Amino acid sequence: MPGIPKYFPILLLAATACFGSCKKNVDTGILSTGNFGDTTGVLKDAAAFPIGTAVNNGPLQDPAFLAITKRDFSSVTFGYEMKHGAVVKDNGSIDFTTPDAMVNLLGDMTIWGHTLCWHQNQNATYLKNFAGIIIPAATELLTYGGFESGMTGWSVFNTGNPSGTATVTTTTVSSEIHGGTTAMKVVNPTAYPGNQWRVQVSSASFATTPGKSYIISYWVKAASAGGSIRLSTGTAPTTSQYQGDQSIGTSWQQVSWSITAATATNTVLFDMGQAANTYFIDDVSIKEAVVQPDQTQIAVKLDTALKKFITAMVGHYKNRVHAWDVVNEPFADNPVAIRTNVNTNTDAKDVLVWSNYLGRDAAYKAFKYAEAADPTADLFINDYNLESNNAKLDSLLAFVKELKARGCKIDGIGTQMHISRTSNLGGIDNMMQKLGASGLKVRISELDVKAVAGSAAGGLTPQLLAYQAVVYKYTVTSYLKYIPAAQRAGITIWGVNDKNSWLYNNGADYPLLYDNNYNKKPAYSAVLQGLKGK
């Protein structure tokens, strides 16, 4: 960075393994000269395995960013553009326009698919509506239910015997209105016991679907006690339906009635001939009754959506993308467990926890769908904090064994490694040893190292940059030491330059290998040294 010398003394921090199973102390040395000034060389040329970076569409349009990406790295991971939320539209269709353009821009670079089954960065609104987790508000079918336009949309069918005995008007008297500024007022001075239909007002017709249920509701009160009202439908006599008589008092009350439509159109009628009284009716509503699906039905719908997305995404890039993060972050922390809505923050609108509804089958199904779409692709499971949470590491390894025993094709494990200059180095070694012992391919999938976090000074210093470089180098060295060559799927740095990092936050931290002006930092030299075994 500007004003930062290339050579400076640093004091390396001793680190002790954080897990009870790791007995040895890890001492990285004392009073090192911190020789991270030599940045000569290209990262991808220093390794026999892929050296990758994460990119997003915006920064990729910067020629300097693109040039560094192609020069230093042999593979790329799209930080967002291949995720569910980036390509799935609100109607469930999939739009590949942006990721296709990025693929074309990157030429023949290797592209790592990211990610197929994750609880974040999804079009969760579509998924929740599609599955019935969210019940959308039913559409109002009645246009003039508030009587704000007078009796528009309503027809008076009967006004007593003889006709005209009762009157049907609207009122604007505030005490006679439930909502808005107007209500319907029906004055019936004569009782017609057993003949509610003698005073009758009908709505306009509205569309219905035979066999579906509808809720008709309204607010009503009478001028005196002892009122009586009912609803009926105005279809053919053989299909008309009748509500039971409702006793009406002098206070506003809401009355609801459910019908099952028998025809493609209907009308609803208010019948008020039974008892002599004055009736005030307002805020009439007719909506389809929406039934909440049960958990089994929700799971079936989400399974359908998961299969559609994975099949479409993997199939679309089958000839271009040959490795995928199939399942991302399946475990929650403290306590370690498969994710549910209980142990996961679901406040963000882009969150849907697949395993809350599909259980452990969410991961199983994701791997099966990915394999079916491209049997030749390498399929990975990916999670974070494996270097600092031994229980999570062991749980992930056990889960992989479980899925493989069930017949899943799982080729490798990704460890994200969003770490910092104060991360416990013994935990890194512990993780690498256990991942190496799995026999699967191992990939550092999202490596970045926070330099400033936890610093009392509150800003970037040469010493913090040096500490950051030490952790980068140690991580690469540990990977080479404990992961057999045949299992090395690669190391991906989660970004190119600091200002485009998800951790940058207007200068709160500087976690990557290049500064904001695309100058190589000490961390670049450290990674290069680690790859070369220096």
Nearest to 72 by CA among 39, 95, 94, 99: 39
Q: What is the CA radius of gyration of the chain?
A: 34
Give yes or no: 140 in active site. Answer: no
Given a contact cutoff of 8 angstroms between Cβ atoms, the answer to whether 50 and 75 are in contact is: yes
**Token pair 């053989």 in the structure block, residue:** 238
Annotated active-site residue in 81, 371, 387, 446: 446
What distance in Å separates the CA atoms of residue 437 and residue 191, rounded to the nearest whole number?
Answer: 90
The structure tokens listed for 19 are 């897990």
SS (H, E, C) 86-144: HHECCCCCECCHHHHHHHHHCCCCEEEEEEEECCCCCCHHHHHHHHCCCCCCCCECCCC
Characterize the bridge pairing of strands 75-78 and 110-117: parallel
Give yes or no: 446 in active site. Answer: yes
DSSP code for 242: B
Other CB atoms within 10 Å distance of the CB of residue 48: 7
Kindly report whether the peptide bond that precedes residue 375 is cis, defined as omega within 30 degrees of 0.
no
43 bridge partner residues: none
Other CB atoms within 10 Å distance of the CB of residue 61: 12
Annotated active-site residue in 148, 288, 329, 402: 329
Positions marked active-site? 329, 446
